[in-house]
């Protein structure tokens, strides 16, 4: 990827983050700051989309090596969060998500191409997997914000952007809506993986599959724990982060080992 383009994307994602922080920290509505958020973020998304061009350099294949897979997931997360922030009340997640996305563009690591054919069912599995990771990443970010909010409210220090957040109940409900959607896509990803992948062990995917199933169990335990025992707040946030960490290792940890270390 071109370094100039990378720095451009990084800059506008950081500007978007700063604008969101300032917007949420002020106690009155500010149209100029709102416009700045949507403008900077939209520029970052457009440039981000342009940076995906090399992935489709081959007519019938998509290159999903480690660095490009991260950029694709980051793009799905960014555009999903942008849309949900416009039509809903999820803008605060940008404070956590956008700086992380921005850091991806500070590193221009080159890996061997990992081509996925566009004309077979494996591509469907890959797309479903990337969507599930993206939604569950947003759930993890929601967990981080929820933990900070609960801690600040318990210590009677609801200052800055914390005061602009929805209520704890609303934040908790949003977390489980994200989790439910993420679990649906993760379940579909696992099912399609078993259907479309002919020999998991021959393709060095056994550890990825085991970790993905383990993450699925963690999320399912949390969902049932919420329904049966009313788990919420800090406990739910911690379990979400554990599940997401396992899921992250299952895909990107596996790619690091296979593409870089081996």
Query: pLDDT per residue over 101-123, tens digit each?
Result: 999 888 765 555 556 665 567 77
| pLDDT value at 237 more than 80 | yes
- Report how far residue 235's alpha carbon sits from residue 115's, in angstroms, rounded to the nearest whole number: 40
| pLDDT value at 261 more than 50 | no
Q: What percent of the chain has pLDDT over 90?
A: 44
Which of 134-138, 188-192, 234-238 is least confident? 188-192
Total domains present in the chain:
2
**Do 185 and 93 share a structural domain?**
no
**Do 22 and 143 share a structural domain?**
no
**Do 174 and 91 share a structural domain?**
no
H-only helix segments in the chain: 3-25, 31-50, 66-87, 94-104, 121-154, 168-196, 206-229, 233-248, 254-256
Residue 121 C-beta-side C-alpha neighbours within 13 Å:
9
- Report how far residue 236's alpha carbon sits from residue 242's, in angstroms, rounded to the nearest whole number: 10
Would you state the pLDDT for residue 19? 93
**Do 102 and 124 share a structural domain?**
no
Higher pLDDT, 250 or 179: 179
pLDDT tens digits, one per residue of 139-186: 999 999 999 888 888 877 666 677 778 888 999 999 999 999 999 999
Residue 213 falls inside a structural domain: yes
Domain end (from 110, 141, 156): 110
**Do 76 and 101 share a structural domain?**
yes
**Do 124 and 105 share a structural domain?**
no
**Do 257 and 129 share a structural domain?**
yes
Domain end (from 80, 110, 140): 110
| pLDDT value at 258 more than 50 | no
Residue 81 falls inside a structural domain: yes
Residue 26 falls inside a structural domain: yes
| pLDDT value at 58 more than 70 | no
Residue 151 falls inside a structural domain: yes
Burial class (CB in 10 A: 0-12, 13-18, 19+), 227: exposed
First to last CA, the chain: 23
Residue 115 falls inside a structural domain: no
**Do 10 and 96 share a structural domain?**
yes
Residue 206 falls inside a structural domain: yes
**Residue 157 backbone dihedrals phi, psi, to 5 degrees:** -130, 55
Residue 97 falls inside a structural domain: yes
Which of 55-69, 90-104, 232-246 is least confident? 55-69
| pLDDT value at 135 more than 90 | yes
Would you state the pLDDT for residue 260? 46
Domain end (from 89, 110, 131): 110
**Do 159 and 212 share a structural domain?**
yes
User: Which range of residues forms the domain containing residue 4?
Assistant: 1-110
Are 115 and 69 within 8 A, CB to CB?
Answer: no
**Do 95 and 6 share a structural domain?**
yes
**Residue 61 backbone dihedrals phi, psi, to 5 degrees:** -135, 155
**Do 99 and 155 share a structural domain?**
no
Would you state the pLDDT for residue 44? 97
Q: What percent of the chain has pLDDT over 70?
A: 79
**Do 171 and 259 share a structural domain?**
yes
| pLDDT value at 213 more than 80 | yes
The H or E element containing residue 117 is strand 115-117
Residues β-bridged to residue 24: none
């Amino acid at each position: 990827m071109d370094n100039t383009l990378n720095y451009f994307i990084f800059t506008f994602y950081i500007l978007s983050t700063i604008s969101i922080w300032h917007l949420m920290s002020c106690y009155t509505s500010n149209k100029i700051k709102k416009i700045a958020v949507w403008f900077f973020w939209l520029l970052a998304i457009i440039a981000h989309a342009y940076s995906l061009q090399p992935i489709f350099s081959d007519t019938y294949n998509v290159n999903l090596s480690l660095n490009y897979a991260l950029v694709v997931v980051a793009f799905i997360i960014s555009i999903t969060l942008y849309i949900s922030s416009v039509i809903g009340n999820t803008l605060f997640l940008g404070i956590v998500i956008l700086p992380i996305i921005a850091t991806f563009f500070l590193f221009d690591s080159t890996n061997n191409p990992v081509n996925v054919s566009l004309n077979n069912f494996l591509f469907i599995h890959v797309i479903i997997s990337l969507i599930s990771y993206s939604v569950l990443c947003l759930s993890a970010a929601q967990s981080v914000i929820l933990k900070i909010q609960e801690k600040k409210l318990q210590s009677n220090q609801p200052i800055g952007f914390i005061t602009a957040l929805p209520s704890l109940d609303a934040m908790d409900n949003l977390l489980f809506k994200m989790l439910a959607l993420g679990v649906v896509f993760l379940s579909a990803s696992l099912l399609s993986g078993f259907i479309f992948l002919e020999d998991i062990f021959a393709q060095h995917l056994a550890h990825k599959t085991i970790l993905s199933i383990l993450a699925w169990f963690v999320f399912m335990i949390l969902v049932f724990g919420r329904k049966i025992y009313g788990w919420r707040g800090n406990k739910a946030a911690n379990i979400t982060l554990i599940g997401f960490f396992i899921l992250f290792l299952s895909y990107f940890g596996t790619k690091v080992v296979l593409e870089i270390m081996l």
